[in-house]
Structure 1
């Protein structure tokens, strides 16, 4: 899905991070989710982002009474996001989510796994429909559309359960690609409280992949499709091109959120 690829490529930088910090005394742990989300480590190695399989294993290994999940993420793969959300929900610790800058797309329902959700003034939450790339016959396209509708229905259910808002209203928000300010997120139930500190770091993301990103939550768009990287040393051009094509097919066949 081109939107997901653009999101990953335009935000691939060395200073993004996923990190777990745990007090040596056995106290609380802090998980920093400050990156785009992909499903597997192989995809993360190629496109960038943080891999759901890696994050889920790190979460399972945490031994702490409380996990603080600090989020500043523009989203990514819908099933990768679901895997991280599930890992948090199944952990016996209390989950305290802090939306430090941006919980968009897949990161928005990861945030819903929190027993307590705080959002910093100036931060945003964004929800929208799942998307993918499809080709083939009319029957194949109809099946893909049906799958997307099922995914959207599960997203609506998650938001309704957390926010207690009307099902139809949440569905309209999802269909419209809705961006909530910190105050609106609290008002509508996507967060429980405003954080005491103002930590607006959302402006570090390139959100040009999204249709309705507010200027305050974005940075000037860069070229979303950079030139194909040069073949690694010792690898001929033909095998490199084939490997790149295979990687693109893997990424494009994943549902993007």
Structure 2
């Protein structure tokens, strides 16, 4: 069983949980949604939180998505992406620190993307949990192929890049600096910060993720990772498997 996803969740479980924070300025048509957590229905930001918050906004609103996330559940990310795409107002994603894995799916849904200097954007192949015989393993691999193909198609629509190049980058788990993200079309521009940035930007720059679950994390992002939480009982893998299988079956309708 591939436990990288569980490792990512557990390694960051000691971080203070960030409440989903939708801020609407009283004298403005702008609203800001902070996604400063892992993407997961159990351990972080979920579609069940995000979708109703976005749906409640007036279409005249400009929605700002402030993102600093190591990623998480691909299906939660997809559902959040759909909620953003269905919003009829303008959407701008601000990558304040890190957009990795499923967090890129969310950022990519916005009309415009800007990334802070020193920020990173990471793409890779999907992960899953799998148990069973060889036939079940092949079925899971086929479903993951569909997941990755859908993600590649998303990136290709935004960047205009060749799908083979994008797939190769995903195979290699590729981390893009802010400048590289713009160069390759994942982001539109570098963020311009005022002299005194708002609380969100300050919090993002100080928030540290434990990214050791990934294979090619840049050294700069591995320095002084937060301590792992105290040992907890072994997760209920049967429950995780059932949870993952329910989500993977959704792709069978594609």
The match for 1:159 is 155
Distance 1:98 1:248 in 2: 32
- Which structure 1 segments of 5+ residues have no match? 230-240
Distance 1:191 1:93 in 2: 19
* Residues matched between the structures, number: 236
The match for 1:123 is 119
Distance 2:35 2:78 in 1: 14
Q: Cα offset for 1:249?
A: 4.4
Larger RCO: Structure 1 or Structure 2 (Cα < 8 Å, ≥ 6 residues apart)?
A: 1
- Which structure 2 segments of 5+ residues have no match? 195-200, 249-254
Instruction: Report 1:86-97 matches (<5 A).
Output: 86-97=82-93
Root-mean-square deviation (CA), in Å? 2.4
The answer as to whether partners of 1:124 and 1:202 remain within 8 angstroms in 2 is no
Alignment TM-score, normalising by the size of structure 1: 0.84
| Alignment partner of 1:214 is 2:209 | no
Q: For residue 36 of structure 1, give the secondary structure of its aligned residue in structure 2.
A: coil
Query: Structure 1's 69 and 247: CA in aligned 2 closer, same or farther, altered over 3 A?
Result: same
Q: For residue 20 of structure 2, give the secondary structure of its aligned residue in structure 1.
A: strand
Query: Structure 1's 251 and 201: CA in aligned 2 closer, same or farther, altered over 3 A?
Result: farther
| Alignment partner of 1:62 is 2:57 | yes
Deviates more, 1:14-23 or 1:123-132: 14-23
The answer as to whether partners of 2:173 and 2:216 remain within 8 angstroms in 1 is yes
Q: Cα offset for 1:119?
A: 0.4
The answer as to whether partners of 1:127 and 1:178 remain within 8 angstroms in 2 is yes
